[in-house]
Amino acid sequence: MNGEANESSSPARFRFLGPLEFFDGGQWSSIGAPKQRALLAVLLINANRVVSADQLMAELWGERPPPSAAGLLAGYVWRLRNGLGDPGGRMLGTRAPGYRLVLPAGATDVDEYEKLVTAGRKSLAEGDLPAAAAALTEGLGMWRGTPMADVAMVPSVLAESARLEEARLAVVEARIEAEIGLGGHETLLPELKLMVSQFPLRERLHAQLMVALYRSGQQAEALGAYRDLRGLLVEELGVEPSKPLRELQGRILRDDPLLMETPRRATAVPRSAVPRTLPPDVPALIGRERELDWITTRLASGEQRCAVHGMAGTGKTALAVHAAHRMTRSFPDGQVYLGLGASAARGPTSPVDAVGRLLAALGVPAADIPPEEERAGALLRTVLADRRMILVLDDVADSAQIRHLLPTAPGCAVILTSRPASTAVDGAGLLRLGRLPATAATALIRRYAGAARVDTDLAATVRLAGLCDHLPLALRVAATRLARRPEWTVGEFASRLTDPGRRLEQLTCDGLSVHAALRAGVRLLRHSADPLPTRVLGRLGVLDLPVVSTAVLAAALDIPVASAESAAERLVDAGLIETLRMDRYRVPGLVRLFALGEYVTADEERTATHRVLGYYEGAVRDQLSRLAANRGAGLAWYREECLTLRALAARAPGTELPGLVSRLSSALR
């Protein structure tokens, strides 16, 4: 943003570290018309510079503006001036060959944010870590979401949003550096691990994670973090880690005592510091407006708890973090994120460790945290008693894990995420997250891969979304891969995903992996000693049916229906399938591919297929014999099962099933 001296006495201020808004001296307001919002955004990005009418028309309408574009643009400018309370054009002036928005220094939230960041970096360079952490934390707290989140992604907006997001990541790294210097290494571990998974090639984040782990007494884990990064760099880029990172590994191997030292000026975090450990907000949360409104409305009304549950890859964490960012002003005493690792390879965090990590995040010195769960829980309730804070407890294992984490203070609130529905809230506080609607799935791909490519072949985009099961994780991975390969067309990538042997392998990018998310669900199954749910998962891969009933599962495994239902419900709780009603389940195509590749042998495939074919042959014969007595019941059964019957009949041409299905269809017709 250019800070040229102003020519206007207008009090208007603007903020676009989130939805685009202006302050007219009385309240913050938005511009209702999308084209006017986009126009204002472009002018703000180029504040105090003349933007030609030709550039503005290209921004608003692309390479082929309509013949009436010049007149429409003039009308938008006129309405924008009136909306901003500037009818005379003193702030938004006409200057050949276009228009100029004149703003004084400090008129936007970006100006204020960058001023705080500059001060924070200066303090960091001078070794004043408390001042650096305070300034950088305050600056990051100004973010309300994706920059210009409600503005169409015209070229200038896309470029500026990308610039701000990239710069923000560097500011987060600087804040983490200051807080590590202040001795906050243990508190930072959850955030660092999450950020490393989101940005796996950022060496500075890896270095910070290694130092934090080492200072927390986890030397082996620190070295493991280095090995993970080196493996990724060698595999993806064919390069070794940088020299500073290699030197850091050597210092950890040598147990260098200097790694444990902190600067003399960094003696303690100020008591007034407000904890803000939420991960960075997602670049775009598409198709979840209703769910977001449900969470924010519930918390704004004074309710203290809400829980988001659902299948793997539906975006539970992203929704919870975005909602917490949205509620920052309602909880001024802090916003804290805590990952509890229910589906992590190392297993879930123990209840006592969870309480200790939360107390550390709230600034309680490690020496003051009791080792007993009950006493630590009591201390946590005391610390939270007079605060207004929001907690995000992510990937919860069960209610026992969080029984001491749930705040009782009236000013605090908590958002839980888990694959099974939580018992820590009543039914009114539960939100199940499912697949995205088709239009939202397409919009998500459009947001990440680019509008031009998607609009060129919308049919291929719809096909790609279907191959991703409309799951946000898979959609984001696919769209990100397209964005990184501008030479690929959407149709070409969709064709690649149609190969069932390659689909899961292709849906991995930047630390995000559909296969890893599904494997995490299997780890949840293995927390109990019962092998039946894993066997049922294998049968779902064999059957390759989008919808199955408990009766079919029972036939496929030759077990009682009650046992099949119990195992299927375990799969629901692990986030691998969805329940449609009490005895029917939806099985995503990606889960079927995963199960087929991991848990099926050739003998099992033949046996299970034979049993299910026998089941449906008997079921169709039974319906044929009853048609004369109750045609309506037969028609209802056929409508519910017809897709499954047709799929099985097509795969078993040499059996009786195709003929039986044809007879039933004809009789009902």
- Average pLDDT score over residue span 638-661: 88
- pLDDT of 5 reads 36
- pLDDT of 10 reads 45
CA separation for the pair 339, 317 (Å, rounded): 10
The CA-atom distances, in angstroms, between 309 and each of 30, 429, 589, 657 are: 33, 11, 20, 39
CA separation for the pair 317, 515 (Å, rounded): 17
Phi, psi of 276 (to 5 degrees): -135, 80
* Tokens matching residue 34: 């999308």
CA separation for the pair 50, 99 (Å, rounded): 5
pLDDT tens digits for range 204-222: 898 999 998 988 888 888 8
CA separation for the pair 309, 177 (Å, rounded): 34
**Is the pLDDT confidence value at 110 over 50?**
yes
- pLDDT of 355 reads 93
Q: Considering only CA atoms, which of 435, 383, 441, 430 is closest in space to residue 409? A: 383
pLDDT tens digits for range 258-268: 777 654 443 33
Helices (H), 387-489: 399-402, 438-449, 451-456, 458-467, 472-484
- Residues 89-124 as b/e (b if ≥16 CB within 10 A, e otherwise) read bebbbeeeebbbbbbbeebbbbbbbbebbebbbebb
Beta-strand pair 305-310/430-433: parallel
**Is the pLDDT confidence value at 235 over 90?**
no
Model pTM above 0.85: no
Banded pLDDT at 7 (limits 50, 70, 90): very low
CA separation for the pair 376, 388 (Å, rounded): 20
**Is the pLDDT confidence value at 529 over 80?**
no
- Amino acid 347 reads G
Question: Among 1-5, 218-222, 419-423, 542-546, where is mean pLDDT lowest?
Answer: 1-5
- Average pLDDT score over residue span 40-69: 85
pLDDT tens digits for range 278-292: 988 887 789 999 999
- Average pLDDT score over residue span 2-22: 65
- Cα torsion through 192, 194, 200, 204, rounded to 10: -10
pLDDT tens digits for range 153-167: 888 888 888 888 888
pLDDT tens digits for range 295-334: 999 998 888 999 999 999 999 999 999 999 989 888 888 8
- Average pLDDT score over residue span 402-416: 89
- Amino acid 102 reads V
- Average pLDDT score over residue span 98-114: 87
- pLDDT of 2 reads 41
Quick one: what percent of the chain has pLDDT higher than 70? 95
Quick one: what percent of the chain has pLDDT higher than 90? 31
Banded pLDDT at 588 (limits 50, 70, 90): very high
Output the 3-class SS for 492-540: HHHHHHCCCCCHHHHCEECCEEHHHHHHHHHHHHCCCCCCHHHHHHHHH
- pLDDT of 11 reads 54
Higher pLDDT: 149 or 392? It is 392
**Is the pLDDT confidence value at 269 over 70?**
no
- pLDDT of 265 reads 41
- pLDDT of 602 reads 63
- Average pLDDT score over residue span 398-415: 89
* Tokens matching residue 341: 């690792």
- pLDDT of 239 reads 82
- pLDDT of 426 reads 81
Q: Give, in degrees to the nearest 5, the angle at Cα 24 between 18 and 27.
A: 65
**Is the pLDDT confidence value at 391 over 90?**
yes
Higher pLDDT: 508 or 603? It is 508
Q: What average pLDDT is seen over the chain?
A: 86
CB 565 within 8 A of CB 549: no
- Residues 220-255 as b/e (b if ≥16 CB within 10 A, e otherwise) read ebbbebbeebbeebeeeeeeebeeebeebbeebeee
Banded pLDDT at 603 (limits 50, 70, 90): low
CA separation for the pair 213, 189 (Å, rounded): 7
pLDDT tens digits for range 433-492: 999 999 999 999 998 888 888 888 999 999 999 999 999 999 999 999 999 898 999 999
- pLDDT of 527 reads 72
